[in-house]
Structure 1
Amino acid sequence: MLARMNRPGERLCLAVGAVLVASGLFHLGVFFVDGGPWDGPVSWRKPFTFGVSFGLTLMAIAWVTSYVRMSERVRGVLLVVFAADCVLEVGGITLQAWRHVPSHLDMETSFNSVVSMALAVGGGVLVVVLTAFAVASFRREPGGPVGMAVAVRAGFGILLVALASGAVMIGHGVYLTRTGHQLAAYDSTAPFKPLHGVSLHAVLVLPLLAWVLGLTRWSEGARLRTVHAAVGCYAAAVAGAVVWATVTY
């Protein structure tokens, strides 16, 4: 796996991803020392979870896209943009956590509005970049060991669900904020968080499984069936999260 990660853009993503994960873990320590609520718009949970999630996702995308058949130049540019955007997102969330104000949907002051809108725009950039990778994975079959093509395509397909749920959370929250329902805007994101979290990491979990299976002595048929079963289980989990979001919304 690591032998594939030798291009400058890939090394950059691995390094930045590791820093973001370390930042997230650091803020978990801050939570244990400083205390405060775990839930809610102002919590040390946010720089912890966003740091770890963005860091892992950045490293996963750098690795997984090495199996996607596309222009290396285009892929390198997209990876650099993605890395910069991950830093922007985690940085903005972390800044607001230390200021003890909400990071998203906060229009109380001019500065907070700028941060909130920057995070929203950054989210739009994430959608564009990740959708470009997803489209490329479906245009030409990804390479790699048996089952990797299925895992990569399924991972990106489920990732698009995460992007859609994130867009719904931000869009509806902004609408509530603009119409004078600030507290309702913060609460409105809760039903979608399980769906967003579960679907976000399929692009790492499924290809990683396919890679691990490639190290075994199982037959190609057994490995492929296992990947298909894992995709089915993951899809069922996402469907369950969709039902939960629908019922609790």
Structure 2
Amino acid sequence: MVVMTIVSAVGLLVDDRVLAGAAIWAKPFKFAVSFVVYALALAWMLTLLTRGRRVGRWAGTVVAVSSLVEMAIITGQVVRGKRSHFNHATPFDSALFDAMAVTVVVLWAGTLVIAILLLRARIPDRAAAWAIRSGVVLALVGAGLGFLMTQPTEEQRAAGDLDTADVIGGHAVGVPDGGPSMPFTGWSTTGGDLRVPHFVGMHALQLLPLLLMTLVALAPRFARLRDPRVRLRLVLVASAAYAALTALVTWQALRGQPLVHPDGATLAAAALIVAATAAGTYGALRPSPAPGPDPSGAPEQPSSPSAKESVS
């Protein structure tokens, strides 16, 4: 995928073809970059398994192979100058899209197996355990939202003749694909776009563990963060906020509303999420109460090791 990132970047520079309103090499470039960070995160998480490691290795291999097959089809269609997604123009194009649909299902199933193994793994630091498990579960939700794009749009249903249509499904909601869009991401600026919740959900896999790593890195400078219980509470707040954000952008997209033009209901919901997150963060940063004296007069037991020591 690193190699394909470079190849696609070169394609963006030297190939001026445009397909569905975007540079033809933009899709393989974005997919390659996404697969790089996705695979790195999963590979790191597999090292944390305490049981079922062989199953985890097989699941990781399945994810790698299925993503490779999907990337090969996307790139092959770019070379042919054809759409890779939602393309039913010819039996061959339709067969390629169906094959991609199978690889996505297989990739999702492989990730699900890894998620189950992580839920059963004994990770000493509770904050780390919650960051990893929340991240992989939300990533599965985000990946699953991608299946909404394969369904015929309302406009396609209204036009009829789905059996003979060249394109079935799409990213946009309420407007055709290929219209005005945001730079680089290509997300629609005139209608809803299902790629937004798909992207947000999938990248919880990296962002929530990165949040915890940041908290651990800042702990030497901020006394509150040295307390493992504070870090755990912050991770729980962040996980809930991320889940709420994923739900919000999904709701927004399904109503045919662009990400950059939210209406009053979307803004009100976003404000509630921000307020709840701020309140949760404030509560999480409160110092934990010191343990009281033992009524029996027994000496206090030594505290449990810190998250950093546990990870070491």
Q: TM-score range by the shorter chain?
A: 0.7 to 0.9
Q: Equivalents in 1 of 2:233, 2:99: separation in Å? A: 43
Distance 1:141 1:75, change over 3 A: closer
The 10-residue stretch of structure 1 (70-79 or 177-186) with the greater mean CA deviation from structure 2: 177-186
Task: Report the equivalent of 2:251.
Answer: 243
Task: Report the equivalent of 1:127.
Answer: 108
Distance 1:210 1:37, change over 3 A: same
Conserved 8 A contact 1:27-1:44: yes
Distance 1:127 1:172, change over 3 A: farther
Task: Report the equivalent of 1:10.
Answer: none
Task: Report the equivalent of 1:43.
Answer: 24
Distance 1:234 1:106, change over 3 A: same
Task: Report the equivalent of 2:199.
Answer: 197
Q: Equivalents in 1 of 2:3, 2:124: separation in Å? A: 30
More helix by share: 1
Task: Report the equivalent of 1:55.
Answer: 36
The 10-residue stretch of structure 1 (91-100 or 109-118) with the greater mean CA deviation from structure 2: 109-118
Conserved 8 A contact 2:73-2:84: yes
Conserved 8 A contact 1:41-1:186: no
Q: Equivalents in 2 of 1:25, 1:199: separation in Å? A: 26
| Structure 1 position 164 matched with structure 2 position 144 | yes
Q: Superposed, which structure 2 residues align to 1:81-160 within 5 Å?
A: 81-138=62-119, 140-143=120-123, 145-160=125-140
For each residue in 1:99-119, what CA deviation from the matched residue of structure 2 results, as whole angstroms up to 9, or x when unmatched? 110112222223322321211
Superposed displacement of residue 187, structure 1 = 5.2
Q: Which runs of 5+ in 1 are unaligned?
A: 1-19
Q: Equivalents in 1 of 2:254, 2:29: separation in Å? A: 27
The 10-residue stretch of structure 1 (237-246 or 196-205) with the greater mean CA deviation from structure 2: 237-246
Distance 1:149 1:160, change over 3 A: same
Q: Equivalents in 1 of 2:17, 2:239: separation in Å? A: 38
Give 2:233's aligned amino acid. R
The 10-residue stretch of structure 1 (100-109 or 28-37) with the greater mean CA deviation from structure 2: 28-37
- 3-state SS of paired residue (1:248): coil
Identify which of 210, 216, 219 aligns with 2:212: 210
For each residue in 1:58-79, what CA deviation from the matched residue of structure 2 results, as whole angstroms up to 9, or x when unmatched? 1111112322443111111111
Distance 1:22 1:237, change over 3 A: farther
Looking at both structures, which has the greater relative contact order when contacts are Cα pairs under 8 Å and sequence separation is at least 6? 1
- 3-state SS of paired residue (1:120): helix
TM-score normalised by L of structure 1: 0.79
| Structure 1 position 185 matched with structure 2 position 206 | no
The 10-residue stretch of structure 1 (176-185 or 154-163) with the greater mean CA deviation from structure 2: 176-185
For each residue in 1:200-246, what CA deviation from the matched residue of structure 2 results, as whole angstroms up to 9, or x when unmatched? 11111111222343343331133223322322332232122112222
| Structure 1 position 229 matched with structure 2 position 237 | yes
Q: Equivalents in 1 of 2:249, 2:20: separation in Å? A: 19
Distance 1:144 1:53, change over 3 A: farther
Superposed displacement of residue 126, structure 1 = 1.0
Q: Equivalents in 2 of 1:131, 1:165: separation in Å? A: 15
Q: Equivalents in 2 of 1:72, 1:172: separation in Å? A: 40
Q: Which runs of 5+ in 2 are unaligned?
A: 178-192, 258-312
Superposed displacement of residue 144, structure 1 = 5.2
Give 1:210's aligned amino acid. L
Superposed displacement of residue 48, structure 1 = 0.6
Conserved 8 A contact 1:142-1:152: no
- 3-state SS of paired residue (2:51): coil
Q: How many residues align?
A: 228
Conserved 8 A contact 2:59-2:110: yes
